[in-house]
Amino acid sequence: DHLYKRFAERLAQLEEAEGAFDYFTLSYRSFGIQRRSDNGLVLREWAPGAEVIFLTGDFSKCHHAETSLSYIQAQTLLNGQIYEAKYKRFIVSKETGECLFRISPWAKHVTKTLDSVTYDWTHWDPPQPYQFQHPRPPRPSSLRIYEAHVGISSPEEKIASYKNFTRDVLPRIKDLAHQFTTKTTHSLSLSRFGTPGDLKHLVDAAHSMGITVLLDMVHSHASSNTEDGLNYFDGTDSCFFHGCSRGNHSLWGSRLFNYSSWEVVRFLLSNLRWWMEEYHFDGFRFDAVTSMLYHHHGIGTSFSGNYSEYFGIHVDEDALVYLMLVNHILHKLYPQCITVAEDVSGMPGLCRSIEEGGLGFDYRLTMAVPDKWIQVLKEVRDEDWDLENIVHTLTNRRRGEASITYAESHDQALVGDKSLAFWLMDKEMYTNMSALIAMTPVIDRGIQLHKLIRLLTHSLGGEGYLNFMGNEFGHPEWLDFPRKGNNESYYYARRQFNLVDIEHLRYRQLYSFDHDMNLTEDKYGWLAAGQAAVTTLNQADKVIVFERSNLLFIFNFHPCNSYIDYRVAVEHAGKYKIKLNSDKLQYGGHGRLVQDTVFFTEPMPFNGRAQSFLVSFISITTFHS
Q: Which residues of this protein are in contact with ligand NAG, per CB under 6 A?
A: 154, 156, 158, 160-161, 164, 173-176, 224, 238, 242-246, 248, 253, 258, 260-261, 306, 308, 427-428, 431-432, 437-438, 440, 486-487, 515, 518-519, 522
**Nearest to ligand NAG of 332, 427 (CB atom):** 427
Quick one: which H or E segment has residue 551? strand 551-556
The DSSP code for 527 is: G
Q: Reading across the β-sheet that carries 543-548, which strands appear in turn?
A: 533-538, 543-548, 551-556
Q: Are 217 and 287 in contact (CB under 8 A)?
A: yes
Q: Which is nearer to ligand NAG, 39 or 431 (CB)?
A: 431
Of residues 336, 454, 471, the one with CA closest to residue 405: 454
Amino acid at 611: Q
d(CA 499, CA 508): 8
Nearest distance from C-beta of residue 248 to ligand NAG, angstroms: 4
- The shares of helix, strand and coil residues in the chain, as percent rounded to the nearest 5, are 30, 25, 45
Name the residue among 329, 437, 243 with its Cα closest to residue 14.
329
In our burial notation (b when 16+ CB lie closer than 10 A, e otherwise), range 521-537 reads beebebbebebbebbbb
Shortest gap between Cβ of 446 and ligand NAG (angstroms)? 12
Those residues whose C-beta lies under 8 Å from the C-beta of residue 304, and which sit 6 or more positions away, are none
Q: Which is nearer to ligand NAG, 185 or 258 (CB)?
A: 258
The single-letter DSSP state of residue 125 is -
Residue at 262: amino acid letter:
W
Question: How far does Cα 266 stand from its chain's mean position?
Answer: 24
Rounded Cα gap, residues 515 and 512, in angstroms: 5
Q: Please report which residue ranges of 401-547 form alpha helices under DSSP H.
A: 410-413, 420-425, 428-431, 441-460, 498-501, 507-524
Continuous segment of H or E residues that includes residue 147: strand 143-148
> In the complex, which residue's CB is closest to ligand NAG?
154
DSSP symbols for 332-367? HH-TT-EEEE--SS--TTTTS-GGGTS---SEEE-T
* Separation of alpha carbons 188 and 230, rounded Å: 11
Nearest to 259 by CA among 228, 314, 220: 220
CB 546 within 8 A of CB 532: yes
| Residues with Cβ within 8 Å of residue 292, at least 6 apart in sequence | 219, 220, 259, 316, 319, 322, 323
Q: Three-state SS for 464?
A: strand
Q: Which is nearer to ligand NAG, 183 or 427 (CB)?
A: 427
- CA dist., res. 562 & res. 610, Å (int): 26
Catalytic site positions: 287, 342
In angstroms, rounded to a whole number, what is the distance separating the alpha carbons of residues 188 and 461?
35
Q: How far apart are CA 65 and CA 75, in angstroms?
A: 7
* 411 or 522: CB nearest ligand NAG: 522
Say how many CA atoms lie within 13 Å of 312 toward its Cβ.
7
Q: At what angle do helices 317-333 and 2-17 cross, to 10 degrees?
A: 60
Q: Say if strands 143-148 and 177-180 run parallel, antiparallel, or are unpaired.
A: parallel
